[in-house]
């Protein structure tokens, strides 16, 4: 898809430059050559920038390797989330158990010493 967008842009540049050649009475081949040279320079600068930033083309082996690494990272992230959820549920179950135990102890204590826990 990128290729067709770039190609369409370059064709548009050429189509805009060629009619202006008639207005300035310049030879059309010079304007076409300038458009092609400008496109080549822009394309080479873009490729160089992609090379510096480490963004390979979508069809390259580097891009596929990067996709595999990204998939592995996403899988690891999902596993970490599942592990944290499991720890959360275990911790909540432990706290509920402790709360029940505390309530039973308090209930037993109030049965043994009711006058101590009366309000008023």
Exposed / middle / buried, residue 26 (Cβ in 10 Å: 0-12, 13-18, 19+): middle
Query: Residues 42-64: pLDDT tens digits?
Result: 777 777 777 666 665 566 777 78
Does 73 or 44 have the greater pLDDT score?
Answer: 73
Q: Indicate yes or no: pTM above 0.95.
A: no
* pLDDT over 60 at 114, yes or no: yes
Whether 10 and 39 have beta carbons less than 8 Å apart is answered as yes
Residues with Cβ within 8 Å of 84's Cβ and at least 6 positions away in sequence, in order, are none
Maximum CA extent, the chain: 112
Confidence band for 83, pLDDT divided at 50, 70 and 90: very high
Phi, psi (deg, nearest 5) at residue 34: -65, -40
* pLDDT over 50 at 70, yes or no: yes
């Amino acid at each position: 898809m990128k290729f067709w967008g770039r190609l369409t842009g370059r064709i548009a540049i050429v189509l805009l430059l060629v009619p202006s050649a008639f207005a300035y009475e310049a030879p059309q081949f010079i304007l076409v050559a300038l458009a092609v040279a400008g496109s080549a320079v822009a394309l080479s600068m873009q490729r160089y920038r992609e090379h510096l930033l480490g963004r390979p083309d979508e069809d390259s082996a580097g891009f596929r390797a990067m996709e595999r690494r990204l998939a592995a990272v996403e899988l690891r992230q999902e596993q970490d989330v599942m592990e944290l959820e499991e720890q959360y549920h275990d911790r909540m179950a432990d706290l509920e158990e402790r709360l029940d135990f505390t309530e039973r102890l308090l209930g037993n204590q109030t049965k043994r010493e009711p006058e101590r826990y009366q309000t008023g």
